[in-house]
Each structure stands twice: as C-alpha cells, then as structure tokens.
Amino acid sequence: MTPFLAIAKLTCRATMRSYVFHFLFLLLLAVIFILPNTIISDGTAKGLIYVSLKYCLGVSGFILSLSTIWVSCFTLSNDLETYQMHMICVKPVSRVVIWLGKLTGVVFLHGVLLLLSSIIIYIFTIWQFERSTFSDEEKEKIKNEVLVGRRVYMPEMPDFSKEVEEQITKLNLAIKEGKPGAPDKQLSLAEKRKLIKEIRNQIIAKYGEIPFGNFREWKYKALDPLQKSPLSFRYRIYVGKVSSKDQRQTLGIFGAYVPFYENEEDAKKGKEPKYELIPKTSEPESFMCGVFLEDKISPVIIRKDGTARIAFQNLDPEKASLFFQPNDGPKLLEPKVSFFQNYLRAAFVIFLRIILLAGLGASAGGLFSMPVAVFIVISYLIFGISASFVIDIERDFGYDEEALRASESLWETAARQTSHGILAVIIPMQKFEVSDTVADGELIEFSFIAKFFTEIFLIRGLPLFVVAVYLYKRREIGLIVKK
Amino acid sequence: MEKQKETVVKSIGLTKIFRDFWGRPKAKAVNDLDFEVYEGEVFGLLGPNGSGKSTTIKMLLGLLYPTSGKISVYGYPPDDIRTKNRIGYLPEESYLYKYLTAEETLDFFGALFNLSIAERKNRTSQLLEMVGLSHAAKRQVGEYSKGMQRRIGLAQAMVNDPDLLILDEPTSGLDPLGCREIKDLILFLKKRGKTVIISSHLLADVEDVCDRVIILYGGKIRANGTLNELLTISEQCSLKLPSLNPNETERLLKILRENLKGEEFSIEHPKRSLEDFFLEVVQKAKNERVETFGAQGGGGIADYLKREEKDKEKEKILEQLVVNEEKEEEEKKEEKSDKILSELLASNKKEEEITKKKETEEAKIALQDIEKIDEKLSKLLNSDKKTE
C-alpha cells in the first residue's frame, strides 16, 4: 500500500505543477465565481436559476473532464519520456500498481476539485434563490420546476413499422389491381427500399403534427398510482414547422382523462371508475411556441394500472398545424426527491465520468507519447459522439431493426452496423451529461447510474483498461527515446 | 574450505535485436552474451559507445526484454519483484523528479520499497549525510548541480541497502572528491559482501575498484577476466628504487644499456596521481574551513549500511571471548617461553641497530665494490662474446 500511496501522492504533486492544469484550474474558478454573475437568462426568475445551474455545472464538469484527460495522459507519458519511470520500474513495484497509483492520483485530485466546485455551485444557487427579490409565485415555480428531482415519463410511441407495412401492403394491392395513380409494374428492391424510407419519414413527420382543429392523445405508463402531489406536464409546441425561427403565440386546449362514478354506490364499493376527457380550461389557452412550458396536473389522472392519458386540441388562430417533437415528449414529471439529493446524484455521475476519462487517459498515456495519447482519447470520444448520433436517430424515432433492414441501402446498413460495432467498444460519454437534467428538475435515476456503472464502466471501460494495463506491463520501457 | 559464492547474475546466450516500425531487424545490440557475476564481486562492464553495455544493463533491470537467451538475477527473471527488492540502480543521468527536494526524493524512493515512515526518515538523513548533501536537504533537486544530482541519485540507489548495486557511469559528473567517495563506497560494499556491477568509460575508475571485467564490442564479449589476468604484462618488469643522485643514475643507465643491448627502457621519477594531489588540496581547504554551497565531502558510510559489519564485529568479539578463555591456560604456559623469546629479540634489535650504522658507513664502499664487480662482469661478458 505504501508504494501505491506514494505514487498517487506524487501524481497529485506533479499535476499541480502542470501549466495546463493551472490554466484549467483558473478557468474552473472563473466558471464557478464569474459565470453565474454574468449570465443573461430569459429574464424570468426561473430562467436565471436554471441557466446559472445548467451552465455552471455543465461547464465546470466539462473543464474537469478536459483536465482529467490531459493530466491522465500527461502523468504516465511524461514519466516515460523523461525516464523517471525507469527509476520507478526498477523498484519492487508492479506496473499495475504504478498504473493504478497514477490513476488514483488523477481521480483524487479531480474528485476534490469536483467536490469543491459542486459545493460552491450548490451554495451559490441556493443563495441566489434565497436573496433574490422573486415573487412568491416565481419562487414556487423555481421550487417545483428546477430545485427538485422529478421522475420523467415519456408517452408511448406508436408502432411505426406496422404502419409502414400497412402502407406498403396497400400500395402492392393497388399495383396488383392496377388502380389509377399506382405504379404500373411491381417495384424493384431498390425502389421498394426508397419508398419504404419515404413512407416512414412521412409517418414520423405526421405523428408529430396536429392539424388545425384536431386532437392528439398521449398515453403514459408505469406511473405511481399512489402519487399524491401534483404532476408536471412539460411540453414544447412548434407552429407551422419544427424550427426555432418564425415561432409565435398559438392557441389550444389541453385535457386529461379524469375518473368519475356514475353513482355514489360504485364509489363506495370501490369499483373501477370511468374516465372522461375533461378540458383544462373552458376557453382556449395561449402558448408561446418554440420554448419549453410546464403545467401542473392533478395526480387523479393516474389510473390504478399506472396509466394516464393527456390530450391536446389545436385551435391556432391562423389555422396552422402545430407540432410536438417525439424527443420532447411531452413529458409527465413526478416529484420524487429533493434538489439536494438529485444534485448529489449529478455530482456522482460527473465523478464516474472523471474516473472513466482518467482510465482512458492513463490507458493511452501508458502506451503512447503525450500528443498521441491526447489525440487518441479525443478521437475516441468523438467516435463515441458520432456513432451514438447515428444510433440515436433510429431510436428516437422508434425504428425497429426489421423495418430498417427492409428500407435502407447497403451503405446505410454498413454505416449503421459500423456504428453499432463502434458503440460496443466505445463509450458515448455525452450520454452522461447531467447538467441539463438537474437544471430541468428531472430525476437522475439510480437505474441511470447503475446503467452507467455496469454498461459503460464495467462492460466497456474495464476490459479496455485491463487490455491497456496488460500492454503497458509488457511494454519495453527501455526502448523509449528520451525527450 | 572456502564457501562457494552465489551466482547473482547469469546470462546465457543473451541477444537483443532492435526492430523498426515494421518489425524488421534494425540493429543487433547484444549478441549471444554469456557471463556470470558472483556474490561479493565488483564487476565491470566496459566497451565503447554502442557496444551493448546499456542494453545489457536495461535487460538486467527488466526495462528491455531479450530477443533470445536468458538473463536471471538471483535466480529470478529481472522483472520479478523479489529481484527488484535486492537491487539498487544508479542510471547514467539523474532521472529524478526535479520539483522534489532531496529529502522528499529519498522518502519517495524509500516508500517504493515499502519502508516505514520512521525508517525512511532515518535512512534519508543518514544517506544525505553520506553523500554530503545534508545542508541542501530542503532544496529542490532541479536546483542541484550535475554532481549533486549524481550524489542524490546514488543515495536513492542505496536506500534499500541493496545486495546488488548497478552503477551506470557512476563517476560521471562528479568531482574527484565525489569519485573517490564512490570508489570508497564500492570497496566498502564489496567488503560487506555486496555485489556491484559498474558500466563505465572511465577506465581508471574501473581499474581502481573492479575485480573482474568484460569488455564488449559490437554486442559481443571481447575480453573477460580479472584485472590481474588482463592487465599484467609478463614480458616487462619495473623496479622501484630510492631516489638516486645523477652519478648513480648514470651508472645504472650504463649497466642497463650494456645489458639490454638496444632494447628500449626509461628511468623517471614516479608521479602521484592528479586525483591524490587534488584531494590533498581540497582537504587543506577544508581544514581552513572555507565556505561552499555545493556538495561537501560525504560524512562517511551511512550507519544503516554498516549494520552487518557491526554485527560481524560483535560476533568476532564474542568468538574471541570464548576462544580467549580456552587460550588463557595455553597462554600462561607460553608466557615463560615468550619472556625468553622477547629477551632474545631485544638483544637481536640492539645488534641490528649496530649493523645499520655500520651499513650506512659502508654504503659508499659497497657502491664502489659494485662498480668494480660490474666492470669485471662486463669484461667477462665481452670476453665470452669474443670466444664465441
């Protein structure tokens, strides 16, 4: 243990002497102390707290991640290149201990920095909330929407592949029967693929669209039937098209299925109530398009089986279509934990991310020179981002494997399969960015942390580290040319 | 019967080929090297640049792996932890953490040997004293001169009281005082039964301390043996005489010229080495208490390194006590005969003193006699040649 601790301690000291670390540390201080005081929000009290929390935590996490990558690459590769590693390797310390000692030093130092910056950001957020001259209504809004940890429920998605299949069957039938407008011959495989793709895109685009006067209903599952406190309903409406430009006010009515009993006896007997769609307001409500909005909903909408249904009618004054993006939900939010608990979970996720990045950096640093190691780690993360971007497209729109296979070209299949292959080894670090989640008052689920730990840390990270340590152990240190 | 010495390092067919990026052989740095180093030996690894010395040492330390062949240290592969526990290594240059102070450096390397805090503290102060850096213990190693860095490098190599000390160019960058101290240290370690491997270009240093050397060239052993075996020139001899006056020298030269017949020879005054002269000057300055900020002469060997020697001394004393009792009676018996002997010796000494006086008086006469004998001899030799 003594050699391990000595190496970890020395790593901390070496890190604190690095100029890059000094620069990043100063940047971190600037983010913690200056950024919250210079941020311009949307002018609302909630916006101020939201933005300062989101940016401070996000940017400080980013700086700590950058610093971790740099330092972990530097600590091993520099020691190797300056032959200081020769001096350690000839002592009775295994290279595994050296590697772990270096990693621990980097993780410890950045863990301490994370702890300090998290505490400062937390105290500053609460202080800002308490000292500001917000109205009670505004304070209540912040408490309910930002300074809270709420479980998120997404609406059930329809089976797009089934719809696509139905459309294709109809088309084939039309071709067979020679109906007017239908193609005059059977489609080739390439044409069929193209057509399936077009139909699928149309269906998805249509799914998000609510034409003027029409209703849309969303069904939610797995809600807590014993929930007593009000739920939140979070949504973003686009008018005309899904774009941040040319958005304006629109009109519409939200409604929910509320239980009722036809007679009192049924209620006394505890019979299953009937549900009726009740509009939230008697008059159409006005909504600002292109921004997230939140409403309160009574928990009575949750049925015994944990489901709930919410509906919306488009009453746009210009009779334009309104759009709800599948990514935005709309989400149903259920308060679960306090802000402090949620914030703690966020800090823990950032800490896990630091460990992973330190592991990646140390893996590369033990095998390559400093610039190559940094380049490899950054490339690795970029691969992770781009590969998961390709995968996300299919997941977000509810594509299934079978439908994709039928519709895409050979190149697309190759790209998708490659992305899947890359993601089997590469860690999509951006998936674990939690500052948005915390600032939105959304709960960082234990299942999310467990997923991070098992899928990312144990299944993908650990084998990678084991291979890297093995190669580092076998490396002929004497071959390295001194700087 | 003499106890058989343990083999510390054993190299069989050791070969190292360096390859390029594509795995093609680039250079054969070490070629089929067979050698052994025994316990308590000071072993020199000599050779010009690129002869394979450093590669051999790196393989010995587990920093490089042999392409073929085998090298073992204390019977284990070089990268075995059990081996490393017994090795101390001083590299060619000081690869130390420049931001650490001398104290912190030794503490860090002590920690790598799993030494307790108290032990590290104790050894650190003793080692700093030994290498003459106690006054600079709190200074960062990066601020040290090259010589001071070598000294702290040596101290870190000794922190575990190693059984095998590997020194790569140990005296490079050191002043003569430091060189002498290192040589003294090596000899001291040898006395304690430790094994030392030295790789050096400074042949004079190697000559002063090594028992056995191998000389490498092109990755192969070109010479191997003890210094006596390698350096003795059996075809020549040298005489050491007291200082002669010019007449005496001339006469001696004459005799030599006549007898060696054209073969080259020389007579000159012996010189002390520059190192000895330098050390004398420094010692003088020290005695005059001249101030210096650089490395000072070492304070002698660290106490913890002397432990075994002290133990041996204690054992000797105990053995002597036991033996003394047994011998006491015998001694009593011998006492009488000793008295008689000492009386005889005293009378002999008196006689010797008288003869010495006579000798000095007779010295001049003797020289004249020698001349006469020489003349006779030369005449005889000439007459022999003529008869032949």
Q: What is the DSSP letter of A479?
A: G
pLDDT number for residue B367 = 58
Mean pLDDT check: name the lowest of A124-133, B149-158, B270-279.
B270-279
Q: What is the CA radius of gyration of chain B?
A: 29
pLDDT number for residue A398 = 45
Chain B hits for A7, Cβ within 8 Å:
112
Chain B hits for A88, Cβ within 8 Å:
112
**Is residue A101 predicted with pLDDT exceeding 90?**
yes
User: Average pLDDT in the B290-310 region?
Assistant: 62
Please state, rounded to an integer, the average pLDDT across all residues of chain B.
78
Q: Which two tokens stand for residue B242?
A: 């007291």
pLDDT number for residue B388 = 44
Give the model's confidence band at B332: pLDDT under 50 very low, under 70 low, under 90 confident, else very high.
Answer: low
pLDDT number for residue A252 = 92
Say whether residue B370 is in contact with chain A using an 8 A CB cutoff.
no
Chain A hits for B62, Cβ within 8 Å:
89-90
User: Average pLDDT in the B229-245 region?
Assistant: 76
Q: pLDDT tens-digit profile of A353-399?
A: 999 999 999 999 999 988 999 999 999 888 877 776 666 555 544 44
User: Average pLDDT in the A310-335 region?
Assistant: 88
Contact B99 A13 (CB under 8 A): yes
Contact A3 B65 (CB under 8 A): no
To the nearest whole Å, the CA of B81 is away from the closest chain A CA by 5
**Is residue B240 predicted with pLDDT exceeding 70?**
yes
B13: left (phi over 0), alpha (psi -120 to 50) or beta: left
User: Average pLDDT in the A302-309 region?
Assistant: 88
Contact A59, A459 (CB under 8 A): no
Contact A17 B99 (CB under 8 A): yes
Contact B84 A92 (CB under 8 A): yes
User: Average pLDDT in the B190-201 region?
Assistant: 87
To the nearest whole Å, the CA of B269 is away from the closest chain A CA by 47
Chain B hits for A12, Cβ within 8 Å:
none
Q: Which two tokens stand for residue B386?
A: 């003529």
Rounded distance, CA B162 to CA B304, Å?
12
Contact A92 B113 (CB under 8 A): yes
Written as one letter, the residue type at B372 is K
Q: Which two tokens stand for residue B91?
A: 């590299």
pLDDT number for residue A391 = 61
Partner residue facing B111 (CB), from A3, A17, A479:
A3
**Is residue B248 predicted with pLDDT exceeding 80?**
yes
Which of B108, B119, B140, B163 to probe the A interface (max A CBs under 10 A)? B108
Angle of helix B102-112 versus helix B117-130 axis, rounded to 10? 130
Written as one letter, the residue type at A20 is V
pLDDT number for residue B1 = 45
Which of A7, A82, A91, A97 to probe the B interface (max B CBs under 10 A)? A91
ipTM: 0.73
Partner residue facing A90 (CB), from B89, B93, B96:
B89
Question: Could you tell me which chain B residue has the CA closest to the CA of A472?
Answer: B63
Question: Could you tell me which chain B residue has the CA closest to the CA of A14?
Answer: B99
Beta pairing partners, B224: B214
Mean pLDDT check: name the lowest of A114-128, A267-281, B49-63.
A267-281
**Is residue B101 predicted with pLDDT exceeding 80?**
yes
Cα-Cα-Cα-Cα dihedral of B121, B125, B128, B133, to 10°? 120
Contact B30, B55 (CB under 8 A): yes
Q: pLDDT tens-digit profile of B354-380?
A: 556 655 565 566 556 656 655 655 565
To the nearest whole Å, the CA of A49 is away from the closest chain B CA by 43
Question: Could you tell me which chain A residue has the CA closest to the CA of B93?
Answer: A83
**Is residue A281 predicted with pLDDT exceeding 90?**
no
Q: How many helices (H) and strands (E) does chain A have?
A: 17, 12
